[in-house]
C-alpha cells in the first residue's frame, strides 16, 4: 500500500496515528493552544498555514539541491493554470 506522510499540528489525530511519517508544526491557533502555550493573535489557523508553507519551501529547496535542479528546471515543470 501507499505510505502516508503528514504535516500537522496534532500528531495524535486519527490520521496522525496511521501515518508513516509525521512532521509536527507547533503553531497553535487561539482555539487550539494548550495551557501555558503562547497563543497566536492571528485568526483561525493562519500561523499553521504560514509555517507549513515555509516548511514546504525549505523541503523543496533541499530536494532541488539533492537532485541538482535549478529554478529554471523547476519552472519548466510547473503547470500554468492561468
For residue 56, the surrounding DSSP H or E stretch is helix 46-66
Residue 23: inside a domain: yes
pTM, two decimal places: 0.73
pLDDT of residue 56: 95
Residue 82: inside a domain: no
CATH number at residue 11: 3.40.50.10490
Which residues does the annotation mark as catalytic?
A: 49
Name which of 48, 30, 47 is nearest 38 in CA terms. Answer: 30
pLDDT of residue 47: 87
| Three-state DSSP class for residue 69 | coil
Number of domains present in the structure of the chain: 1
Residue 54: inside a domain: yes
Alpha-carbon span 57 to 67, nearest angstrom: 15
Alpha-carbon span 37 to 78, nearest angstrom: 39
Q: Which pLDDT tens digit goes with each residue over 14-42?
A: 999 999 999 999 887 766 667 777 777 88
pLDDT of residue 81: 66
Amino acid at each position: 500500500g501507499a505510505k502516508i506522510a503528514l504535516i500537522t499540528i496534532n500528531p495524535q489525530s486519527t490520521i496522525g496515528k496511521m501515518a508513516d511519517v509525521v512532521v509536527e508544526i507547533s503553531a497553535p491557533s487561539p482555539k487550539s493552544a494548550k495551557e501555558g502555550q503562547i497563543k497566536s493573535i492571528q485568526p483561525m489557523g493562519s500561523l499553521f498555514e504560514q509555517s507549513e508553507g515555509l516548511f514546504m519551501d525549505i523541503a523543496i529547496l533541499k530536494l532541488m539541491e539533492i537532485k541538482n535542479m535549478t529554478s529554471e528546471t523547476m519552472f519548466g515543470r510547473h503547470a500554468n493554470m492561468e
